[in-house]
Amino acid sequence: EVQLVESGGGLVQPGGSLRLSCAASGFTFSDFHMSWVRQAPGKGLEWVAKIKGDGSEKYYVDSVRGRFTISRDNAEKSLYLQMNSLRAEDTALYYCARGGKFRFDHWGQGALVTVSS
Amino acid sequence: DIQMTQSPSSLSASLGDRVTITCQASQDIRNHLNWYQQKSGKAPKLLIYDASNLETGVPSRFSGSGSGTDFTFTISSLQPEDIATYYCQQYDNLPPLTFGGGTKVEIK
């Protein structure tokens, strides 16, 4: 069974940093693109970043490029999102999702990030 | 960036009704469109991929059609468990992958 479990969310002040993690199991992690998708409170879905299976290619939505870094450790079957220079508008539930090349076929339960003073 | 315009933003229908949601892309995306269901407090779930293919395990009352810029998602007979928000998502020209704004489906 495919499982994705996020961790690392929390409350952070504007300008601060946070690192999200996603532990994957139940599939060959290195075979798949992985993505982060976020959802602001009461809003729709927004794709944030994706990384190729071997980590060689990374892409970001314009609003986070230069502030967020996606990475992965295939030996540990883990996906990460390093978030720096956080803003109030980054407040959201962050989902780890399998996919990013075509479709997102499995999702985690989400990690809540709140940016507030 | 490709913009995805979904309509309506919300709808109310009776149990057993046929429900239709549309998604329009700002440019030709061929059949590179997926549909997701998100129930309250839960993660999204993939229902339809490549515009018309039913994901494994998804009930056959759900269907999708379309290509180019205009797409349709249909629930043939609305059930209580279908109460959710539905999103379309394109993957033709990325990054970024983009989602529609969502359609909230409620029971009348």
Whether residue B93 has pLDDT greater than 80: no
Contacting A with CB below 8 Å, chain B residues are 32, 34, 36, 38, 43-46, 49-50, 55, 87, 89, 91, 94-102
Q: Are the C-beta atoms of A108 and A38 separated by less than 8 Å?
A: no
Q: Tokens standing for B17?
A: 């009704």
Instruction: Report the pLDDT averaged over residues A9-21.
Output: 98
Q: Kindly state whether A41 is in contact with chain B, defined as any CB-CB distance less than 8 angstroms.
A: no
Identify which of A73, A29, A18, A97 has the alpha carbon closest to the alpha carbon of residue B99: A97
- What is the rounded CA–CA span in Å between residue A32 and residue A86? 28
**Which residue shows structure tokens 């998708």?**
A37
Q: Say if residue A20 is exposed, middle or buried (CB neighbours under 10 Å; 0-12, 13-18, 19+).
A: buried
Which residues of chain A lie closer than 8 angstroms to B45, CB-CB?
107
Say if the Cβ atoms of A102 and B32 lie within 8 Å: yes
For A105, the closest of B46, B87, B102 (CB atoms) is B46
Give the Cα separation of B84 and B37 in Å (integer).
6
The tokens 């990460």 sit on which residue? A80
Determine the Cα–Cα distance for residues B31 and B71; give it in Å rounded to an integer.
Answer: 9
Average pLDDT, chain B: 97
pLDDT score of A68 more than 90? yes
Tally of helices (H runs) and strands (E runs) in chain B: 0, 11
Which of B97, B98, B99 should be substituted to probe chain A, the one whose Cβ sees the most A Cβ atoms within 10 Å? B97
* Whether B43 and A101 lie within 8 Å, measured CB to CB: no
Q: How many CB atoms lie within 10 A of CB B81?
A: 9
The alpha-carbon radius of gyration of chain B (Å, integer) is: 13
Distance from CA of B16 to the nearest CA of A (A): 27
Taking CB atoms and an 8 Å cutoff, what residues of chain B touch A44? Answer: 87, 99-102
Check CB contact under 8 Å for A47 and B99.
yes
pLDDT of residue A91: 98
Nearest CA-CA distance, residue B39 and chain A, Å: 12
Give the gap in angstroms from C-alpha B35 to the nearest C-alpha of chain A. 9
User: Tell me: the pLDDT tens digits for B34-53?
Assistant: 999 999 999 999 999 999 99
pLDDT digits (tens, 9 = 90+) for A86-115: 999 999 999 999 988 899 999 999 999 999
The whole-number pLDDT of residue B95 equals: 83
Instruction: Give B37's contacts in chain A (Cβ within 8 Å).
Output: none
